[in-house]
Amino acid sequence: MNILIVTQYFWPEEFRINDLSLGLLEKGHRVTVYTGIPNYPTGRFFRGYSFFKNLTQNFHGVKILRVPLVPRGNGRGLRLAINYFSFALFGSIMGAVRCREEYDLIFVYEPSPITVGLPAIVMKKIKKAPIMFWVQDLWPESVAAAGAVRSQRVLKLIERLVSFIYNKCDRILVTSLAYFPPIKCVVKKPERILYFPQTSEELYRPVRLNPEAPELGRMPAGFTVMFAGNIGAAQDFETILSAAENLTVHQDIKWIILGDGRMRPWVEDQIRQRALGKTIYLLGRYPVEAMPRFFSLADILLVTLKREPIFALTIPAKVQSYLACGKPIVAALDGEGARIIAEAGAGLACPAENPAALAEAILTIYRMSAAERQEMGMRGRAYYEKHFDRSMLLDRLNNWMRELYREAKSSVA
């Protein structure tokens, strides 16, 4: 099939859709990605890109067609809203010009914003191709939880937009089983909703570094608790900092933060104020290829989210990556993410926004033997292979796509 992927984010930005596009190539499909100019997470266009430069590219055989957008800047308020709607606007207007081929299926990747569905709906009208919409974030719940929108009037408008987009789609894929009830409330044909969790790139697996590996030189000595990902409001760094304060008596417990985000300056300031400079280490962002290598040096992998109803429905993408790497996990979050860690026997889960409980969970694993920790990590790896294996999920998606294509063709006939 000839598949058009519509996504606001794509390579060189680091999102799971990059790997999924390559997976569809492996299945024998032709793949075109219709996307924006890369600017996440810095808020500025990546070096080498502009409104007129590198708008057509190739990513390992995937054709990339870019349209202009306004960069996200500081990722807040009006600037972020303009970023979201600029892609929706330019993507809708320029679709017929940029995407001149005929497509058999349109696949939408939606980690936020929901407005990414609008260019896809326009393309559906033009190309007569069905839409498969992969929901990563629930709207309007996620924007309300983040505090980005507080006006009930605006939230009601977003609800209407969400209903419009969902009901124009032929299949809705959800990354969490907990997403089914809220989406069923707004779609007219709930049988079109399918469970399709995230996987991780094949490079995520247990690895062993040689003594000359550069990652070794960047790590402090001690028992390491490692967090990887966005340093944002949703990740609840207040709980991480407070838990680290509670454990300063254990001087060999070190907290390693891999990543960046708009809350980083605040975290840096808090580390100074709380005298945690010898406890918490901010190592910055690294390419995805480096993550399994860093994870191999961790004693515990950490995932956190704030206490919000929407976050209790969510499975953070890093959970699959952590499981795949076979290390013990501590999860300071509620709901689906915590359920998976507990069900897998891959670590310990504690309630969100509870520093004392997080510190106690860290201490529990700290006091285990190396053999016990290894066994815990291997249980996580086995759970990953059973439920989130990349090849298995690609096969599932490929079958659904072919089924939808046949259904669309037969309805036209």
Arithmetic mean of pLDDT over the chain: 95
Domain ranges of the chain: 2-199+389-412, 214-387
- Per-residue confidence (pLDDT) for residue 281, from 0 to 100: 98
Residues 361-385 have pLDDT tens digits of: 999 999 999 999 999 999 999 999 9
- Residues forming a β-bridge with 172: 133, 193
Band of pLDDT at residue 267, cut at 50, 70 and 90: very high
What CATH number does domain 214-387 carry, 3.40.50.2000, 3.40.50.720, 3.20.20.300, 3.40.1180.10? Answer: 3.40.50.2000
- Per-residue confidence (pLDDT) for residue 3, from 0 to 100: 98
- Per-residue confidence (pLDDT) for residue 222, from 0 to 100: 96
- Per-residue confidence (pLDDT) for residue 413, from 0 to 100: 58
Percentage of the chain beyond pLDDT 90 is 88
Position 211 pLDDT exceeds 90: no
Q: How distant, in Å, are the alpha carbons of 3, 146, 156 from that of 308?
A: 36, 9, 19
Residues 89-140 have pLDDT tens digits of: 999 999 999 999 999 999 999 998 999 999 999 999 999 999 999 999 999 8
Band of pLDDT at residue 409, cut at 50, 70 and 90: confident
Mean pLDDT of 20-47: 96
Same fold, 2-199+389-412 and 214-387: yes
- Per-residue confidence (pLDDT) for residue 147, from 0 to 100: 65
Per CATH, which fold does 2-199+389-412 belong to?
A: Rossmann fold (3.40.50)
